[in-house]
Amino acid sequence: MPRLTEASYIVLGLIELAGQATPYDLKRVAQLTTNNFWSIPHTQLYTECARLAREGLLDERQEQTGRRRRVYQLTGRGHGLLAQWRDQPTEELYELRDTSTLKLFFGGNHAALAASQLEAHRRQLEIYEGMRGSLAEAPRGQRLALECGIGHAREFIRFWSSVSETDPPAADA
């Protein structure tokens, strides 16, 4: 049994959605989809594709001309392991790595952090809400993941608004 990580399942899942893809294709798709809730360095997409191919979970075909890109698609075994992982419930909570909260914890300027975070989360919420229309016909899971992102953005806006109200920015800021 190969050792599979969340990055492995992201690669398998994105290739399942695409049918076949190069690592560059996966990078572009991840930027629009999974990176909104689980970021993965693009270099890891390249190495993970190669590793999963060695494990027999992806078929690899190299173009014979041009840039000689490697194109990957799921094997039956890869599809089976992805389906098994996808259908297995989890009690794990999300992993939060938020620089602004870390700075807040260590005594950062509350007002400045609140102002910058409010702007950033409002922009992100606008992006997410704009995506709703384009996902109207998408699978239910993708629409639910978007609603989760919208909920998180709204909660961060609520939180940073309360910080801003209790510690308004200085007049000279």
Given a cut of 50, the residues of the chain with pLDDT beneath it are 172-173
pLDDT at residue 173, rounded to an integer: 47
- The three-state secondary structure class of 17 is helix
pTM for the model: 0.82
Q: Rounding to the nearest 10 degrees, give the CA dihedral for residues 97, 41, 32, 153.
A: 10
Do the beta carbons of residue 108 and residue 157 sit within 8 Å? no
pLDDT at residue 1, rounded to an integer: 84
The distance in angstroms from the start CA to the end CA of the chain is: 57
Angle at 19 between CA 77 and CA 142, to 5 degrees: 95
Do the beta carbons of residue 56 and residue 72 sit within 8 Å? no
* 109: region left, alpha or beta (phi > 0 left; psi from -120 to 50 alpha): beta
